[in-house]
Amino acid sequence: MNYEQPMNSKLIRNVWAVGRNYADHAAEMKVEVPKSPMIFLKAGTSVETGSKIKLPTWSKDVHHELEIAYWIDDKLEFTYLTLALDLTARDAQAEAKAKGQPWTMAKSFTGSCPLGSWISLQDAGPLDELTFELKKNQQVVQIGSAKEMIFKPEILLQFIKKHFPVSGSDILLTGTPAGVGPLQSGDLLQATLQSGNRKLLACHWDVE
């Protein structure tokens, strides 16, 4: 099977993301699991492909959220996946939630979507065998298993195609498992993605 190679990540258009897609993360946030996908947007220009994370000066509480991300091709199908950090200014998010305001400030700031390199779905193997892990300063902080997703990636794709102007070169973030936490200048993040015992991807980021 031939796959269209993902373009330079600078060309990413929309970043569709889903909140509360793992029950353990919803529990740690003390929120209910949604009955239909809770979709929000991050700006396509918030994507970063380097290994540096620059924290916004105006937030004192930027959290890591490690997630599996899918590339959407011109046929509006998934062809590649990688790991992404859905960086979240938790203080701005709490304020927005309290006031009933949108999450844009919390979710879509400059540099808020670091991405790893793309792996074809063929190489990645079955969804249910995918597991991922984030270490902060050598300590494991997040462990995820794709089979624990409340809404599977294909269901999320159908949902966003039904409701939004999805286009080729968009990406979809599929939600984070429990263990989110704050980042500080000097932190080292290391993320891995596995299919069963097979390591698919390793990424690292330095927090500036």
Residue ranges binding Zn ion (CB under 5 A): 65, 86, 176
Closest distance to Zn ion from the beta carbon of 36 (Å): 17
Q: At 45, is the secondary structure helix, strand, or coil?
A: helix
Closer CB to Zn ion, 38 or 123, in the complex: 38
Closer CB to Zn ion, 65 or 170, in the complex: 65
Closer CB to Zn ion, 59 or 176, in the complex: 176
Sign of CA dihedral 147, 149, 150, 151: negative
Instruction: List, in order, residues 6 or more apart from 87 with CB less than 8 Å away.
Output: 53, 62, 63, 64, 65, 109, 111, 112, 113, 114, 183
CA atoms of 127 and 152, how far apart (whole Å): 9
Asked if 118 contacts 71 with a C-beta cutoff of 8 angstroms, the reply is: yes
Closest distance to Zn ion from the beta carbon of 86 (Å): 3
Tell me which residue has its CB nearest to Zn ion.
Answer: 86
Closest distance to Zn ion from the beta carbon of 198 (Å): 25
Closest distance to Zn ion from the beta carbon of 179 (Å): 12
Closer CB to Zn ion, 96 or 123, in the complex: 96
